[in-house]
């Protein structure tokens, strides 16, 4: 049975586990605007739902759901010019990439058997608000259920 809540919770657990050693202060499913995430709450990772595509391969057939998420990492820019903020966001990107590419190569990330596959798909974006001293990465992840 299709359960978006169960799938999202499993994806969140995967991301939380994959990024545990990166030293982010917060990892949450509750998205926040730049203005809501002050330096005291950063560096942070958010799992944000980003829609879904639903189809059937044949009439009255099994439904296939392609759930889309954004994994958003946000870091506070240091006044220390020697600190490169992209380093933290690149580490997040690498951790998400590794978590969605299980071993052996070519195998699927099934979130513990809940889905057919979960993977990074689309354009990874870097965005910044220098006036708020924040830099952000958005990593698109697709999760496919069904056939």
Q: Are 43 and 23 in contact (CB under 8 A)?
A: yes
**Summary mean pLDDT of the chain:** 87
CATH of the domain at 32: 3.30.70.1700
Q: Which of 35, 109, 25 is nearest to 69 (CA)?
A: 109
**Structure-model confidence comparison of residues 121 and 1, the more confident one:** 121
Look up the domain containing 90 and give its range: 4-144
pLDDT bucket at 41, cuts 50 / 70 / 90: confident
**pLDDT tens digits for 95-138?**
999 999 987 888 999 999 999 999 999 999 998 876 667 888 99
Number of domains, the chain: 1
């Amino acid at each position: 049975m299709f359960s978006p809540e169960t799938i999202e919770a499993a994806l969140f657990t995967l991301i939380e586990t994959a990024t545990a050693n990166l030293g982010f202060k917060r990892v949450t499913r509750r998205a926040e605007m730049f203005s809501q995430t002050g330096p005291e709450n950063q560096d942070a990772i958010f799992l944000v739902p980003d829609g879904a595509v639903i189809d059937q391969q044949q009439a009255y057939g099994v439904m296939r759901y392609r759930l889309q998420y954004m994994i958003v990492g946000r870091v506070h820019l240091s006044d220390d010019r020697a600190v490169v903020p992209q380093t933290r966001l690149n580490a997040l990107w690498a951790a998400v990439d590794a978590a969605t590419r299980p071993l052996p190569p070519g195998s699927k990330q099934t979130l513990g058997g809940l889905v057919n596959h979960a993977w990074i798909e689309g354009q990874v974006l870097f965005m910044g608000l220098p006036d708020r001293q924040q830099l952000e990465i958005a990593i698109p992840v697709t999760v496919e259920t069904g056939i």
